[in-house]
Amino acid sequence: MTRPLRLAPSILSADFAAIGEVVRGLDLAGADWIHLDVMDGHFVPNISFGPDMVRAVRRLTPKPLDVHLMIAPADPYLAAFAEAGADVITVHAEAGPHLHRSLQTIRALGKRAGVAINPATPESAVEPVLDLVDLVLVMSVNPGFGGQAFIPAVCEKVRRIGAMTAGRDIEIEIDGGITAETAPDAARAGANVLVAGSAALRGGPERYADNLQAIRQAAERATGTWA
């Protein structure tokens, strides 16, 4: 199944004092989704924000909010993120022993469910839950920080997940180190949702449209879908 290319800029590297300008700017610049990185200082060595930020961003844009939970445990907070306005809620396969239950809960809350895996986690970790997910997120950096270098070896894993999910309605998202230089390999491997943090926000709001266009164009050229 060919799914549309979607750009999901992450607000992680934004100036949170100017979050309105950032989110409205990304929306106008052609973001398909807005990616929100939730970090707890426990599952990952950094703390970002929680449901209140999702609620604030919800008021700023009608675009789908793609909430990437890097928290353990995740289950006690799923309802709060759903109520705050998330559209897609993604939990890490490594974040707890009850992945199946977490995904069931997200679906029961009426949201699209995603499962994420770290660079060192094999694709076999998501295979048992494919019936319960709308999205598989493949980390192309070790989670916790923006601005890290893309790990090219994950492209082979993206390819294998593409084969594993063939014929299913499942988005494949790649997250970490995506730029106009790395997007072609990611898109060729089969990722259709590209998260970009620093490469999207670089230079401030007046650069957002050019930044997103450069990534989109590079990915579409690589997959032969550039009009």
Ligand X SMILES: O=C(CO)[C@@H](O)[C@H](O)COP(=O)(O)O
* Residues forming the site for ligand X (CB under 6 A): 10, 12-13, 35, 37, 68, 70, 141, 143-144, 146-148, 175-178, 195-199
Q: In the structure, how many helices (H) and strands (E) does the chain have?
A: 8, 8
Distances (CA, A) of 10 to 22, 45, 105: 10, 18, 24
CA separation for the pair 142, 154 (Å, rounded): 11
Interface mask toward Fe ion for 67-86; x: CB under 5 A = -x------------------
Confirm if 113 and 134 have CB atoms less than 8 A apart: yes
Contact with Fe ion (CB under 5 A): which of 37, 123, 134, 185? 37
Q: Least distance to ligand X from the beta carbon of 137, Å?
A: 8
Q: Least distance to ligand X from the beta carbon of 69, Å?
A: 10
Q: Which does 111 bind (CB under 5 to 8 A by kind): ligand X, Fe ion, none?
A: none
Q: Is 15 annotated as a binding residue?
A: no
Q: Least distance to ligand X from the beta carbon of 215, Å?
A: 10
Q: 175 catalytic, yes or no?
A: yes
**Pairing of β 193-196 and β 171-175:** parallel
Q: Does 111 bind Fe ion (CB under 5 A)?
A: no
Catalytic residue among 37, 40, 66, 134: 37
**Which sign does the torsion angle of CA 157, 32, 135, 202 carry?**
positive
Q: Is 189 helix (H, G, I), strand (E, B) or coil?
A: helix
Q: Please count the residues of the chain.
A: 227
Catalytic residue among 40, 66, 134, 175: 175
Site residues (CB under 5 A) for Fe ion?
37, 68, 175
